[in-house]
A and B are shown apart, each in its own frame.
Chain A
């Protein structure tokens, strides 16, 4: 089955049907964000792939890749929108607006219908216009130019290994019998539906770009160009698109037209005048708000002489964020999350890009910090060369042994947890 026997196959096996269509004003049953739970480390056998494996992908594998892309494309998040009380003319507050947000979409796509829903509740429609609207969650304005899935995973610091909990929205009819408010949610545990607040006053210009009818399209295309340049070292592929194709790329995303979007996007990914050399990715740390941008070669440099093993996600993270990913093979301090699922470190980056990139061409990966009861995160010790074997011998847990082994295998993991 060629190169797609590992994570991709198991991913397909558990892909569930798409979520029900959006249904405003009706609470949506809590569901997980996407169904890509099959990025399961247990299924990941080491994979050796021939030099240019992408040209050897069978038709069956292509069908599978289509299924993966569709699963990513159809991933969605139940969202509850509340109108900020200061904007509402009714003391008891407006109803909440519920909808199913596509993970690959952008918030401005949904703004017109959200605005129409709340319009009767606004104190002064001449001030609270759709142009002045913005969303926030926990006092953080939600960037217009990040995909919804990234916004959700970043601002919830999503850890898919934790079980989602449903929140019961309060209504005006059961206040006297309402249970006490739940305790603060545990970080990383998704609270569904995801609750965001619609505001109009005090647009946070310092943190949020101005929303205009063209700004979302503009920033999307800029990111597509950047991703294309990162992949190929030139912008030939994106520049070679016809004006009609360029328009279709964004219009199909707005219309959620899978075939329309990938018809154009594949022209870039498979452009004859360019070869994919690097994979563009951004890594988001919800704890520090730092974003690290990388452009990672598709082949491991150390192995170029013997044909070039594909670079894995673990290798990329180890290179870009070595403090959080001291090992290429095992997660130690943080889990990489994308589209609402934990990604396996062994997945080849080029496969991940082909099957699961966001429509703008980037892999937007958030980090879920792992629980650390023993507070070992602060006790890193750099080992000198002679100490490695002693560390392996003294390792008390499978994780320690794995790390020590990793050190001796790779020769490139400088940090070992003691």
Chain B
């Protein structure tokens, strides 16, 4: 599946999108901003900028992590929780850690891409070995303190399987329909809620905040020096 047609392509471009919404161009700036933060704070993180096979101007950021997990759900939950609380990514790097004999290594490919309809970043992910069941996904990837909130959204929670917009294969994704409202207080001056919306984060800092809100729900937390973590 390709969702590679930006709505701004049709006829004359509409007025520029204002934050919290991103256009193709501002998304590219946001990705560059995140990479700058990653390079400064998480040098060992594996990431790559990739292009849609349908339209090279549609880029996405792939972040790859691996965690130890045990097939039994209880152990898996503990393992992810431990991973989630580590302060540096060095400890998550499978190449730096011997794999415990009873555990398995789960490689997770996170894809941060722009939804052409919602005009916000969306998080798609695939795993190796693949996870097919929603309950296994929760056990392996959703931190315990996030599960109730994630499960409370929509028909079966805020995480679903879908087709990858660019790769013609199934993947998991976090629903983007509430992303704009979650981001608004952080990136706009009139964001409300006691003046949290200073607007200082800007496009460059957008994805750092976004990771703290959306990435956190599926275990993608990155320690960033400023603005990347939400207590």
Q: List the interface of chain A (C-beta within 8 A of B).
A: 143, 145, 205-210, 212, 214-215, 217-219, 221-222, 225-226, 229-230, 235, 278, 280, 289-297, 300-302, 311, 315-316, 319-320
- Cβ-closest chain B residue relative to A293: B3
Q: Which of B5, B12, B130, B132 contacts A292 (CB 8 A)?
A: B5
> What CA separation (Å) do A230 and B162 show in the bound complex?
19
> What CA separation (Å) do A293 and B169 show in the bound complex?
17
Inter-chain contact B130/A205, CB cutoff 8 Å = yes
Inter-chain contact A295/B161, CB cutoff 8 Å = no
- CB neighbours (8 Å) of A206 from chain B are 130, 169-170
- Cβ-closest chain B residue relative to A321: B5
Inter-chain contact B14/A225, CB cutoff 8 Å = no
28-56 of chain B: CB within 8 A of chain A: 54
Complex interface bits, B160-183 against A, C-beta within 8 A gives 1, otherwise 0: 111100001110000101000000
Tell me if B16 counts as interface (CB < 8 A to partner A). Answer: no
Q: Which of A205, A207, A218, A293 contacts B5 (CB 8 A)?
A: A293
Q: Which of A208, A226, A291, A316 contacts B117 (CB 8 A)?
A: A226
12-27 of chain B: CB within 8 A of chain A: 12, 14
Q: Which of B5, B10, B161, B177 contacts A210 (CB 8 A)?
A: B161
Inter-chain contact A320/B160, CB cutoff 8 Å = no
* Between-chain CB contacts (< 8 Å), 22 pairs: A145-B162, A205-B130, A206-B169, A209-B162, A212-B134, A215-B161, A218-B154, A218-B160, A221-B155, A225-B177, A230-B117, A289-B168, A292-B5, A293-B3, A293-B5, A293-B117, A295-B7, A295-B10, A295-B116, A301-B12, A302-B11, A302-B12
> What CA separation (Å) do A315 and B9 show in the bound complex?
13
Given A229-B177, A320-B5, A300–B11 Cβ distance below 8 Å? yes
> What CA separation (Å) do A210 and B134 show in the bound complex?
9
- CB neighbours (8 Å) of B175 from chain A are 222
> What CA separation (Å) do A278 and B9 show in the bound complex?
13
Q: List the interface of chain B (C-beta within 8 A of A).
A: 1-5, 7, 9-12, 14, 54, 116-118, 130, 132-134, 154-156, 160-163, 168-170, 175, 177
> What CA separation (Å) do A315 and B12 show in the bound complex?
12
Additional A-B contact list (8), CB under 8 Å, known A210-B133, A218-B160, A289-B168: A143-B163, A214-B155, A217-B155, A222-B177, A293-B4, A294-B9, A296-B10, A320-B10
Inter-chain contact B7/A319, CB cutoff 8 Å = no
Inter-chain contact B54/A290, CB cutoff 8 Å = yes
Given A205-B130, A291-B2, A293-B116, A218–B156 Cβ distance below 8 Å? yes
Given A210-B133, A229-B177, A205–B170 Cβ distance below 8 Å? yes
Please indicate which of the listed interface residues A221, A293, A301 has the most CB atoms of chain B within 10 Å of its own CB: A293
> What CA separation (Å) do A297 and B15 show in the bound complex?
13
Inter-chain contact B10/A297, CB cutoff 8 Å = yes
Q: Which of A207, A315, A316 contacts B169 (CB 8 A)?
A: A207
Inter-chain contact B154/A221, CB cutoff 8 Å = yes
Inter-chain contact A316/B155, CB cutoff 8 Å = no
> What CA separation (Å) do A2 and B170 show in the bound complex?
46
- CB neighbours (8 Å) of A226 from chain B are 117-118, 177
Q: Which 5 A-B pairs have the closest CB atoms?
A: A301-B11, A301-B12, A295-B7, A209-B161, A218-B155
Count, A-B residue pairs, CB within 8 A: 97
- CB neighbours (8 Å) of B168 from chain A are 207, 289
Inter-chain contact A319/B11, CB cutoff 8 Å = yes
Q: Which of B2, B10, B132, B160 contacts A222 (CB 8 A)?
A: B160
- Cβ-closest chain B residue relative to A212: B134
Inter-chain contact A280/B117, CB cutoff 8 Å = yes
- CB neighbours (8 Å) of A230 from chain B are 7, 117
Q: How far is the CB of B172 from chain A (nearest CB, A)?
A: 10
> What CA separation (Å) do A235 and B163 show in the bound complex?
22
Inter-chain contact A205/B132, CB cutoff 8 Å = yes
- CB neighbours (8 Å) of A280 from chain B are 117
> What CA separation (Å) do A157 and B188 show in the bound complex?
47
- Cβ-closest chain A residue relative to B1: A291
Inter-chain contact A222/B154, CB cutoff 8 Å = yes
> What CA separation (Å) do A293 and B3 show in the bound complex?
5
> What CA separation (Å) do A206 and B167 show in the bound complex?
10
> What CA separation (Å) do A292 and B166 show in the bound complex?
11
Q: How far is the CB of B150 from chain A (nearest CB, A)?
A: 13
> What CA separation (Å) do A143 and B163 show in the bound complex?
10
- CB neighbours (8 Å) of B12 from chain A are 301-302
- Cβ-closest chain B residue relative to A221: B155
Q: How far is the CB of A159 from chain B (nearest CB, A)?
A: 23
> What CA separation (Å) do A289 and B163 show in the bound complex?
13
- CB neighbours (8 Å) of B160 from chain A are 215, 218-219, 222
Inter-chain contact A208/B170, CB cutoff 8 Å = yes
> What CA separation (Å) do A300 and B12 show in the bound complex?
9
Q: How far is the CB of B167 from chain A (nearest CB, A)?
A: 10
> What CA separation (Å) do A352 and B90 show in the bound complex?
55
- CB neighbours (8 Å) of A291 from chain B are 1-3
- Cβ-closest chain B residue relative to A210: B132
Given A210-B133, A230-B117, A294–B7 Cβ distance below 8 Å? yes
Q: How far is the CB of B15 from chain A (nearest CB, A)?
A: 11
Q: How far is the CB of A356 from chain B (nearest CB, A)?
A: 20
- Cβ-closest chain A residue relative to B53: A290
Inter-chain contact B162/A295, CB cutoff 8 Å = no
- CB neighbours (8 Å) of A316 from chain B are 10
- CB neighbours (8 Å) of A205 from chain B are 130, 132, 170
> What CA separation (Å) do A207 and B161 show in the bound complex?
11
